[in-house]
Structure 1
Amino acid sequence: MDSTAAREQALALAREQALDAAEELFYGRGIQSVGMDDVRTASGVSLKRLYQLFPAKEVLVEAYLERRDVRWRRRLAAHVEGHEGPAERVLAVFDWLGRWFGEPGFRGCAWINSYGELGAASPRVAAQVRAHKQAFKDYLVALVAAAGLPDAVGEQVHVLAEGAMVTAGIEQDTAPAACAREAARVLMDACR
């Protein structure tokens, strides 16, 4: 391996270590309560390297949200694709949400939390949150459309899912997923 490839590999490893630590800390404790020194300590990446990779904390938050978005949506899609029939796929979203709400360490939606902490002060964070929420909405609208229902119903199902996320985060309970699932089922049945 040449020195350029070794350096790139070392940078990629340090980036992943920093992002792993940042994700655990930001999601577990909140963004504003975590400093770059905390990320350095948890990741084992030197402060110099950390700032080389992420010149500002806002850049690290943005990267954390981007990476989490890819993983979150991939997990959701894998679960949904395992279900037969378009209506069942829509309802499977809520089943997956219920599982997510029950995971150890669940603290609500990372994007909603991030927006609440930094959305008004950070255009970069606000843009990441909006992109994630738009992608989730588009996904739900497409699932509902595949069930033969109009986009407006997909938008309503999206609001149900978002409401379940907020409620589950606050109440630390999985029940909002089942409640929103039933509301989505009733809504779709009524619109057929």
Structure 2
Amino acid sequence: MARKPKPSEQRATRARARPKPGRNHYKLTDAQRAEIVTRLALYDSVGDITAELNAQGVDITRQAVSQYNPDNNIRLAQQWRELFFKTREQWAAEIMAEPIAQRAFRLRRLGKIHEAAMQRGAYVIAASMLEQAAKEVGNVYSNVLKTQASGKVDHTHKIEEVTPEERRNMLSDRLKEAMEAARNKAQKAAPTTH
């Protein structure tokens, strides 16, 4: 014979079944999930995606949106993982198909602008085109680091020549490198137990 639950157990069960007040427990449709995954793959920010979904009447948190990024959620369903990486790959291919994304194209254009400026006698513009080309060739607009034979990393950028967004990216990369180095050092220092 089954035991009758105590009143305190009944209250606890009912409390768990009730949604939190003020929260619309909205279940996302597959189309909404696909939109989130696609936008994350296209580097849209979690905040922007959350704000737009909330404006559409979907009650979702930033944490819930970020769980559709396979980098943040190893348990993400395979269909969403595949959509994410397929979209990211297509996006990268489209970007590289744009001529302006290619360094050689930009250098040719800068060369044409330089020649036109020289013919018109606009030496200030011609000089700025030379400077722009030098920065382009010198990887000022990329996040390339030079490693010397001694293993020392030489950060080739001057802070004045880098935009605030590039500075943030450089700092992020340096922090990731430092975190990885600390992790490796901790793993080497940790005693192995078998």
TM-score (norm 2): 0.25
Which structure has the higher relative contact order (CA within 8 Å, separation 6+)? 1
Which structure has more helix as a fraction of its residues?
A: 1
Query: Whose radius of gyration is greater, 1 or 2?
Result: 2
TM-score, normalization by structure 1 = 0.25
